[in-house]
Amino acid sequence: MATAWHRRVTGARRLPRRPATATRAHVTSGPPRCPRRPIRSIPTYLDPCGRPTLQTILGALADQPLLLLFLVIGVGAVVGRLSVRGVSLGAVAVLFTAIAVTALGVHHGVTLAIPETLGFFGLVLFAFVTGITSGPNFFHALRTAYPVMLAVAVILVLGAGTAVGLGTALGLEGQVVAGAFAGALTNTPALAAAGGTPEATVGYAVAYVFGVVGMLAAVALALRHRGTDRDTPSPVVDVSLRVERTDGPTVAGLRERHGGQLHFSRIRRHEFGPAEPVAPGDVLRVGDVVTVVGPASVVSELTTELGHVSSHDLTADRRFLDFRRMTVSAPRLAGRTVAELGLEARFHATAARVRRGDVDMVATPDLVLQLGDRVRVVAPRARMSEVTAYFGDSARGLADINPAALGIGLLLGLLIGEAPIPLPGGSTFAIGAAAGTLIVGLVMGRVGRIGPVVTALPYTASMVLSELGLLVFLAYAGTKAGSLILTAFASGEWARILLLGAGITLVVAAATYVVMRRLFSMGGTRLSGLLGGAQTQPAILAFANGRTGHDPRVALGYALVYPTAMVVKILLAQVLGGL
């Protein structure tokens, strides 16, 4: 404020003072006004005052699908880590986060969606890599597990019967029933097979959420019995045994007697002699000390049969023989069996164990190696550097995604999945891209190599690609369901549809659980994966993997029934859609 002296000198006039009431009225009445001078360079997702609002943020997410994708994945991952009484959702929280965000957008008149191509890519990537990791064990289990696949098919037929009977009792149209069947079993290709009409889509959307939640509850129940699993693999151990048998058994004969589950890595013929590598034709004599690697239960049987545990640990004597874990990073070794390495002929060495991910396996001659495997090699100290160079032993082997196998495998899987299969009456159906890529992945994972071409992926890289594909697909599936959920609940039939979907899910989940536990004596760990495969729902697999630390039995159970469940659901949905 100008002083009186300043006004006398400059001739300035006193400004009129604003009444206090006017100031209070200006402050308290009405919303605050923005500056009169326009704010320039304001992003389109801010209001004219440069402040974000919920409406403008939702608009930005609608205009930028990648922002929506990363928001849903990031927030969902944080929510998934929250634990309530030791239970967390894991990756499946991304699905529910996407549903919530999309439903919020619909409520405010903003359509949020992740491009279908992006979600489709995530699904086929996840299915293909799951097949790659399950392939080595899948075909071995297939010879004895075909009754399990038949049982799953019968249970799905029971679910379709439940849909027809309960849907008729509730007075629902055939298209709504077909859509609810697809949603209750969380199978989008089945929705397309049912006709994909608005009525079917409403039934699908209402039943979908309980289809996930209900099966998650069944998986959690199965995993409660995990501690009593009879198919839990015995831990791999190293034991030095002293031979007491006098009939001179051969190493090859003992291995064959115990199903090829044992590996003999070192032998010492004399009390103070050197430890030497073991050859299959070696004869064991009284007083020999031999190191055996294998499952603890099988090694225990051999100990009783052969002699007793020696007080001399041959693995501690590294004067002549040494051991080291080496990473398989040389592409020429990937897809080859342990026997094809020729370690004994090349280096007078032997492979004792193979570590893939967090699982230790006995290096049996027919075990197929993958890039990134860690092989425990026993070799003469002087030749250890040569053996290391032969394997490559580079960290690159853990992260090489093998783009040739990835691209060719996905291409073949898409072609097989979309190929029309004729049905009686002139109609056709396709098994879908997810089932096609899964089948190709199973075959490529089992083959391992075709000539110079490696068909498998390193385990570590497979886990990364699988997780990425799963998260992208869950985000897409959640936005698709969320965009329909409010419309579905706005219909007067939503309560009856929800009841129908819950009935279908519970019948299929309960029947699968009881049949697999009682009839097939299946352990809880493998059953958790099988439930996800029967539901054809990656979120269920992700939940089971998170609870079990990616136990390989989970993925094996999932891959075992997924193709069968996919085909049967599509066929049943076509039948229901035509009723």
What does the pLDDT look like over 495-542, one tens digit per residue? 899 999 999 999 999 999 999 999 988 999 999 999 998 998 877 888
Asked whether the beta carbons of 100 and 486 are under 8 A apart, the reply is no
Confidence band (pLDDT; 50, 70, 90) for 24? very low
List Cβ neighbours of 279 (8 Å cut-off, separation of 6 or more).
251, 344
Q: Tell me whether residue 354 is in a domain.
A: yes
Average pLDDT, the chain: 81
Look at 26-40, 199-213, 459-473, 504-518 and tell me which has the smallest mean pLDDT. 26-40
Find the CATH number of the domain harbouring 376.
3.30.70.1450
Confidence at residue 16, expressed as pLDDT on a 0 to 100 scale: 53
Confidence band (pLDDT; 50, 70, 90) for 366? confident
Q: What is the CA radius of gyration of the chain?
A: 32
Residue 335: which of 409, 446, 442 has the closest Cα? 446
Asked whether the beta carbons of 335 and 456 are under 8 A apart, the reply is yes
User: What is the b/e burial string over 138-157, where b = at least 16 CB atoms within 10 angstroms of the residue's CB?
Assistant: beebeeebeebbebbbebbe
Q: Tell me whether residue 97 is in a domain.
A: no
Q: Which of 84-88, 300-304, 565-569 reaches the highest mean pLDDT?
A: 300-304
Asked whether the beta carbons of 365 and 338 are under 8 A apart, the reply is yes
Q: Tell me whether residue 476 is in a domain.
A: no
Confidence at residue 3, expressed as pLDDT on a 0 to 100 scale: 54
Encode pLDDT of 411-446 as tens digits.
Answer: 999 999 888 888 776 777 777 787 788 889 888 888
pLDDT at 198 over 70: no
Encode pLDDT of 25-84 as tens digits.
Answer: 444 445 555 555 544 444 455 556 666 778 788 888 888 899 999 999 999 889 888 876
Confidence at residue 9, expressed as pLDDT on a 0 to 100 scale: 47
Q: Tell me whether residue 268 is in a domain.
A: yes
Q: Tell me whether residue 215 is in a domain.
A: no
Confidence at residue 473, expressed as pLDDT on a 0 to 100 scale: 82
Q: Tell me whether residue 516 is in a domain.
A: no
Q: Which carries the bigger pLDDT value, residue 396 or residue 207?
A: 207
Span 224-243, mean pLDDT? 81
SS3 322: strand
DSSP type of residue 381: G
pLDDT at 93 over 50: yes
State residue 200 phi and psi, 5-degree precision: -65, -40
SS3 119: helix
Q: Tell me whether residue 139 is in a domain.
A: no
pTM score: 0.65
Alpha carbon distance 404, 385 (integer Å): 31
Confidence at residue 85, expressed as pLDDT on a 0 to 100 scale: 57
Confidence at residue 477, expressed as pLDDT on a 0 to 100 scale: 78
Q: Which of 292-296, 398-402, 481-485 reaches the highest mean pLDDT?
A: 292-296
Confidence at residue 196, expressed as pLDDT on a 0 to 100 scale: 57
Alpha carbon distance 72, 507 (integer Å): 32
Confidence at residue 39, expressed as pLDDT on a 0 to 100 scale: 46
Side chain identity, residue 95: L
Pure H helices in 234-354: 251-257, 296-306, 343-347
Span 233-258, mean pLDDT? 85
CA distances from 279 to 269, 317, 348 (A): 13, 19, 9
Q: Which carries the bigger pLDDT value, residue 367 or residue 535?
A: 535
Write down the residue that tokens 């100990």 correspond to: 303
Sign of CA dihedral 564, 94, 73, 187: positive
User: Could you give the number of structural domains in the chain?
Assistant: 1
Sign of CA dihedral 242, 244, 248, 249: negative
Encode pLDDT of 273-308 as tens digits.
Answer: 778 888 788 889 888 899 888 888 888 889 888 888
DSSP type of residue 46: S
- Could you tell me which residues are beta bridge partners of residue 236? 295
* Pair of tokens at residue 94: 């991304």
Residue 484: which of 214, 164, 98, 171 has the closest Cα? 98
List Cβ neighbours of 213 (8 Å cut-off, separation of 6 or more).
none
Share of the chain above pLDDT 70, in %: 84
Alpha carbon distance 562, 176 (integer Å): 25
Q: Which of 74-83, 163-172, 204-213 reaches the highest mean pLDDT?
A: 163-172
Confidence at residue 576, expressed as pLDDT on a 0 to 100 scale: 87
Asked whether the beta carbons of 362 and 236 are under 8 A apart, the reply is yes
Q: Tell me whether residue 429 is in a domain.
A: no
Q: What angle in degrees, to the nearest 10, is found between the helix axes of 494-514 and 524-534?
A: 140
Confidence at residue 72, expressed as pLDDT on a 0 to 100 scale: 92
Biggest CA pair distance of the chain: 128
Find the distance separating the first CA and the last CA of the chain, reported in whole Å. Answer: 87
Alpha carbon distance 159, 569 (integer Å): 10
Span 365-390, mean pLDDT? 86
CA distances from 59 to 43, 44, 68, 215 (A): 12, 9, 10, 34
Residue-wise DSSP of 391-415: HB--THHHH---HHHHHHHHHHHHH
How many other CB atoms are there within 10 angstroms of residue 399's CB atom?
A: 13
Alpha carbon distance 184, 502 (integer Å): 7
Confidence at residue 397, expressed as pLDDT on a 0 to 100 scale: 60
CA distances from 518 to 392, 429, 522 (A): 48, 34, 8
State which residues form the domain around 338.
236-396
pLDDT at 13 over 80: no
List Cβ neighbours of 114 (8 Å cut-off, separation of 6 or more).
65, 68, 69, 72, 98, 475, 476, 479
Residue 550: which of 263, 358, 345 has the closest Cα? 358
Pure H helices in 224-342: 251-257, 296-306
Rounding to the nearest 10 degrees, give the CA dihedral for residues 216, 221, 225, 229: -40
* Pair of tokens at residue 348: 């007078």
State residue 574 phi and psi, 5-degree precision: -60, -40
pLDDT at 15 over 80: no
Residue 170: which of 487, 502, 398 has the closest Cα? 502
